[in-house]
Amino acid sequence: DAGVTQSPTHLIKTRGQHVTLRCSPISGHKSVSWYQQVLGQGPQFIFQYYEKEERGRGNFPDRFSARQFPNYSSELNVNALLLGDSALYLCASSYGTVNTEAFFGQGTRLTVV
């Protein structure tokens, strides 16, 4: 069985650009959460989506948005990129809304120059 898959694995963007990151959850999982991990820190919660609805939002600016599709895959969009947005973006999937055992993808390493 495939685990959580994220694409792309790496990308480099310029300040002010827009980026879209993609995540496919484990088959049968209906919840996708996004996290940002800056070097030297633990992952920080950005969003949770369940059944295509936003169920939680972390302390991130409105430049960050996400959506979930009918097949439960998800996109994270970041507009007007800043240097500080450089980080590893992690997607986690779980069956329900309660994340007592969330499974993470390998992440997308975003570098903003």
Task: Considering only the stretches 12-20, 67-75, 79-87, 102-110, report the one whose residues sit in contact with another protein under the rule CB under 8 A.
Answer: 102-110
Q: Which of residues 66-95 bind another protein (CB under 8 A)?
A: 90, 92
Q: Is 24 in the site for another protein (CB under 8 A)?
A: no
Which residue among 78, 87, 102, 110 contacts another protein (CB under 8 A)? 102
- The rounded distance, in Å, linking the Cα atoms of 99 and 17 is 32
Amino acid making up residue 112: V
Q: How far is the CB of 31 from another protein (least distance, A)?
A: 8
What are the tokens at 28?
């049968």
What are the tokens at 43?
């992952």
Task: Considering only the stretches 11-19, 66-74, 79-87, 101-109, report the one whose residues sit in contact with another protein under the rule CB under 8 A.
Answer: 101-109
Q: How far is CA 29 from the centre of its chain?
A: 15
Query: Dihedral of CA 109/84/53/103: which sign?
Result: positive
Which residue among 25, 29, 31, 110 contacts another protein (CB under 8 A)? 31
- Distances in Å between the Cα of 38 and the Cα atoms of 9, 61, 90 are 16, 16, 11
Q: Is 25 in the site for another protein (CB under 8 A)?
A: no
86, 109 Cβ separation under 8 angstroms: no
Task: Considering only the stretches 14-22, 52-60, 67-75, 76-84, report the one whose residues sit in contact with another protein under the rule CB under 8 A.
Answer: 52-60
